[in-house]
Structure 1
Amino acid sequence: MIGKIIDMSFTDAFISFEDGTTLDIGISSLPPNCKIGDTINFNPKNIELKNDKLINLF
Structure 2
Amino acid sequence: MLRLYAKNHGAAEIGSGAVSGWTKYTLPNIHFSNGYIEVGVYSDALANNWAALDQFELVKQ
Asked if these proteins are the same fold (TM beyond 0.5), I'd say: no
TM-score (norm 2): 0.28
The answer to which structure has the higher helix fraction is 1
